[in-house]
Amino acid sequence: MQVLPHIYKPPSTTSDRNQDLPETLPSVVAIGFFDGVHRGHREIFLKARRVADRLGGLVRIITFLEHPSRFFRPDADFHYLSTVEEKLEILKELGVDVIHLASFDQEVANLGAWDFCKRILVGEMNMRALMVGHDFAMGKNRSGTVAVLTEYGKSLGFEAVPVSAVASDDGYPISSTRIRALVASGDVGLAGNLMGRPYTLSGTMVSGRGLGRQIGFPTLNLEWPSTKILPANGVYATRVDLEGGHFDGVTNVGRRPTVGGEGITVETHVLSQEGTVADALNAVSPAFLSVQFVDRLRSERKFDSVEALADQIRRDIEAARERLE
């Protein structure tokens, strides 16, 4: 019985690491959902890399396709900071050798901490070190606390390696829960600081109603993954990655009440309308678009006229240029 069937080996990102290392080597393991792969997570992976290098072994990450809370509360409205694909892409850069992607199902939920350690971590992965944070717990009913795992390690031949929580400038620990709340409230500036990079929505560029073009501010319209958190309605200074170029932009998230919009849209006016952007605006086929949210400029509101809206957009553009400098 293989509880963790999905294995992903990131391509080598450094010239001195051999991706053909045998999987029988000693392993240093970190377990978690790692939503957003924020600064606290990075500290875990960097420390794991140092321990693995000392042991001459591999860094293995065990993570899940969906957050475990979705198993216990399937009807909960849960949105993520990163898709699985985005998470794997970030982990490529952090010295991870093997990633196990597991479905958190009844079988996993029923595994006791001792069985999980003995049969899977030590028996199948040759684990010699397990990274544990101050509030880490694993196994059925979260019975595998740090103290318990430390004792298990003495019997099974592995070390429980403590990792201190990384705090933000205000002294509070960095957590995915806190960052999700910040993004949802529109505080993308602080969220990006805690993540170590701007919060990003990526997806396919889709056709809009063309209203921005009519008032002199054509936009790129994003179809984003429905699993991701959408920043609060408002106007943001953003950076845009479009196939073939990187640009500054102003992005509106919301319902466009001045022009009678229906449903939430993510529309970006790029502060350069030449070359790649002009081609994208005129393209019929969809293109890949990535929007990095740097700072919130204002909330969304309804204006008395389209002319008043256009005047405000001009002020938004100037404000975005200042923030992005």
Q: What is the location of CATH 3.40.50.620 in the chain?
A: 6-13+21-163
Cβ neighbors of 245 (< 8 A, separation 6 or more) are 275, 276, 277
Is a pLDDT exceeding 90 seen at residue 281?
no
Strand order in the sheet with 159-163: 6-8, 98-102, 58-64, 27-31, 127-133, 159-163
Q: Read off the pLDDT band of 4 (50, 70, 90).
A: very low
Tell how far CA 316 is from the center of its chain: 27
Is a pLDDT exceeding 50 seen at residue 117?
yes
Cα–Cα distance measured from residue 25 to residue 4, given in angstroms and rounded to the nearest whole number: 18
pTM of the predicted model as reported, rounded to 2 decimal places: 0.87
Q: Do residues 247 and 240 make contact, with C-beta atoms less than 8 angstroms apart? A: yes
Q: What is the mean pLDDT of the chain?
A: 86
For the four alpha carbons of 23, 27, 33 and 37, in that order, the dihedral sign comes to: negative
In this prediction, residue 266 carries a pLDDT of: 95
In this prediction, residue 238 carries a pLDDT of: 97
Q: What is the pLDDT of residues 158-190, one digit of tens each?
A: 999 999 989 888 888 999 999 999 999 999 999
Cβ neighbors of 162 (< 8 A, separation 6 or more) are 132, 133, 134, 146
Name the fold adopted by 192-324. Answer: Elongation Factor Tu (Ef-tu); domain 3 (2.40.30)
Joined together, the tokens standing for residue 282 give 């005129």
In this prediction, residue 69 carries a pLDDT of: 86
What is the second-level CATH architecture of the domain 6-13+21-163? 3-Layer(aba) Sandwich (3.40)
Q: What is the location of CATH 2.40.30.30 in the chain?
A: 192-324
Q: What is the pLDDT of residues 194-251, one digit of tens each?
A: 999 999 999 998 876 666 666 778 888 999 999 999 999 999 999 999 876 889 999 9
Is a pLDDT exceeding 50 seen at residue 12?
no
Axis crossing angle, helix 176-185 with helix 188-195, rounded to the nearest 10: 150
